Amino acid sequence: MSENLTANEIIDAVAALTAERLTTYIEIGIIMPIQGEAGPLFAPVDCARLQLICELEQSHELADEALEMVMSLVDQLHSARADLQALGAAVDAQPVAVREQVLAAWRARRGG
């Protein structure tokens, strides 16, 4: 069956999380639960993400707006990283001559 957690289950799973904070995170859009029949459900990615959010909030005393901004930057970081890795893999799959050209063009721009 599904390994998604209900709201109560995820509050148990993430030690620092309260029901009130979870509601706020959903309202400001940094947590997007799956809409289940009996209410919102949380995937493993949400669980890991909530750990991070709680840690940032507590260690750096971030207000909601600051938290929103930090999570937006975190998401951009991970997306850019994924895109770069995908690009690397796509270049790797090319013939040697093409790869050398891409590398040369890269170096010309980035001074590598």
Partner 1 sequence: MSRDPYEVLGVTRTATAEEIKKAYRKIVRTSHPDLNPDDAGAQARFIEATAAHDLLKDPDLRARYDKGEIDASGAERQAERPFYRDYAQQPGNPYQSSRGFEGFVSSDIFEEILRQRGQGSARSAHFNAPGPDRRYQLELDFLEAALGTQKRITLPDGQSLDVRIPTGTADGQTIRLRGKGGEGLGEGPDGDALVTLSVRPHKLFRREGNDILLTLPISLDEAILGGKVEAPTIDGPVSLSIPKGASSGQVLRLRGRGVQRPGQTPRGDQRVELRIVSPPEMDESLRSFMESWRETHAYDPRREMMS
Could you list the residues that contact partner 1 (CB under 8 A)? Answer: 32, 44-45, 47-49, 51-52, 55-56, 59-60, 71-72, 74-79, 81-83, 85-90, 92-93, 96, 99-100, 103, 112
Give DSSP secondary structure letters for 39-103.
Answer: EEEE-HHHHHHHHHHHHHHHHHT--HHHHHHHHHHHHHHHHHHHHHHHHHHHHHTS-HHHHHHHH
Q: CB of residue 38 vs partner 1: minimum separation in angstroms? A: 20
Q: Which residue in this structure is represented by tokens 């799959």?
A: 93
By C-beta, is 6 or 51 nearer to partner 1? 51
Give CA–CA dist 77/88, Å, rounded: 16
Least distance to partner 1 from the beta carbon of 49, Å? 5
Which CB sits closer to partner 1, 19 or 80?
Answer: 80
Give the residue with the Cβ less far from partner 1, 21 or 49. 49
